[in-house]
Amino acid sequence: MNGARTSRPQSAAVSAGDHSVPGRDARALRARTPALRWGYRLIFQGKHVIVCERDGWEYVERKKGKEAVAVIAATDDGKFIFVEQYRRPVDTKVLDWPAGLVGDDGENDPAATARKELEEETGYTCDEVEFLAKCPTSPGITSELVSFYRASSVKKTGDAEDAITVHLIAHDGLRAWIASHPDVLIDVKIWAGFALT
pLDDT digits over 58-103, tens only?
Answer: 999 998 888 999 999 999 999 999 999 999 999 999 999 999 999 9
Provide the terminal-to-terminal Cα distance of the chain, rounded to the nearest Å.
Answer: 29
Phi and psi at residue 72, in whole multiples of 5°?
Answer: -95, 110
What's residue 28's pLDDT?
59
> Minimal CA–CA distance to 145: which of 132, 155, 134?
134
pTM of the model: 0.80
Residue ranges of alpha helices (H) inside the chain are 26-31, 34-37, 110-122, 174-179, 188-196
State the Cα–Cα distance between residues 72 and 81, nearest whole angstrom: 7
- % of residues, the chain, pLDDT over 70: 81
What helix, strand, coil percent values describe the chain, rounded to 5?
20, 40, 40
Tell me the per-residue pLDDT of 18-30, one tens digit each, with 9 for 90 and over.
343 444 455 555 5
For residue 67, the cross-strand partners are: 102, 145
Mean pLDDT of 131-139: 96
CATH 3.90.79.10 intervals, the chain: 67-196
Pick the CATH number of 67-196 from 2.120.10.30, 3.90.1150.10, 3.90.420.10, 3.90.79.10: 3.90.79.10
